[in-house]
Every structure is written in structure tokens, then in C-alpha cells.
Amino acid sequence: MKLGRYTIPEVRKFIVAATGLVGLLLTSFLEEFVGVIPESWSGPVTWLIGAATAVGVFLTKNAPVIDAAADRLN
């Protein structure tokens, strides 16, 4: 099935990546303009969101491969 020119897995991968981008921008906004997040937290929070986004995009794209590998291990 396709949504326009894109397949469902491609759209899911985009949604995960876009969610990570929003998280990074929100972290920057909260630290710079509102002061909700202490300045010392912004680095670790940014790293965590970036890493979670990268893992999320990888797992979204490769979910069937990972499920098959996990089934073989069990």
C-alpha cells in the first residue's frame, strides 16, 4: 500500500524522525526562551533525544528484521 509516492514504512520513519526533531526544538526553546530547563541539563537532554530518535528511526525501518532475529534467539 502506498500513500501518494511513499510506502507506509517510509511514512512511519518520517513520523518518528519528525517527533525527534520537535523534541529537540522544544528542548532548545524551553532552555533559551523560557528558562524551564536548567542550562546544565540541555546538553544531556539533547543527546538523549537525539539518540532515542536515531534508535527509533532504525527500529521503525527495520522492525520485521529485528522481530525475526529476536524470534531466532528465543
- State the cell numbers at 41: 541539563
CA distance 58 to 20: 13
- State the cell numbers at 1: 500500500
DSSP 3: E
For 2, the 3-state DSSP assignment is: strand
Q: What is the pTM of this model?
A: 0.67
The answer to whether the beta carbons of residues 62 and 12 sit under 8 Å apart is no
Q: Over its length of 74 residues, how does the chain's per-residue pLDDT go in tens digits?
A: 677 888 777 888 888 999 999 998 888 888 777 777 787 887 888 889 999 999 888 888 666 666 676 677 76
Residue indicated by cell numbers 536548567: 38
